[in-house]
Structure 1
Amino acid sequence: MRQLKSPSFEFHEPDEIVHANVIENFVSVTRPYNGKSGGEARVCAWAPDGSYFAWSCGHRILHLIPWDNQLKKRHDVRDKQGLHKRKYHVIDCSDLIWSLAFGSGRNQKDHMSGFGGRFDPSLVIATGLANGKIRLWNCSEGTLIVELLDHRDIVRCLDFSLDGNLQLLSGSRDGTLKLWDIPEDGNMYSTFKPHGISFTSCCFAPNARFIAAVGTCRMAYLWKSPRLNSQFIKLDGHHNEVSSCSFSFDSALLATGSYDTKVIVWSVHSVTKLRILGHMHPSPSLIYAGGANDHYVRSVSFCANSLILTTVCDDGYVRFWNLKRQQDDPYLVGEATDALFGRVSPDGSILAVGFRDGDVVMFSANQTIPRLMQLSRQAILKHLSKYNLQGQNQNGI
Structure 2
Amino acid sequence: MLLAEEIEKCIGCGACYNICQANCIKMIQDEEGFLYPQVDEKKCLGCLLCEKKCPVLKDNFAVNDIKQGYAAYNKNSVIRLNSSSGGIFSALAEYIISQGGIVAGAAFSKDYRSVEHVLIDSKDEIERLMGSKYIQSDINEIYKKISIALKEGKMVYFSGTPCQVAGLYSYLDKKYDNLFTQDIICHGVPSNLVWNNYLEDVVPSVEKDINYISFRNKKYGWKFFSLIIKGKLGFIYQKKAYKDIFMRGYFENLFLRKSCYNCKFKGEKRQADITVGDFWGVENFSHKMNDDKGTSLIVIYSEKGKELWDRVSNNFESEEVDVREAYKYNTAALKSVSENEKRKLFFDNLDKMKFEQNIKINTSGVLKKDLVYIVETIKRMI
Q: Does TM, normalized by the shorter one, top 0.5?
A: no
Please state which structure has a larger fraction of its residues in helix.
2
Greater RCO, CA 8 A, separation 6+: 2
Please state which structure has a larger fraction of its residues in strand.
1
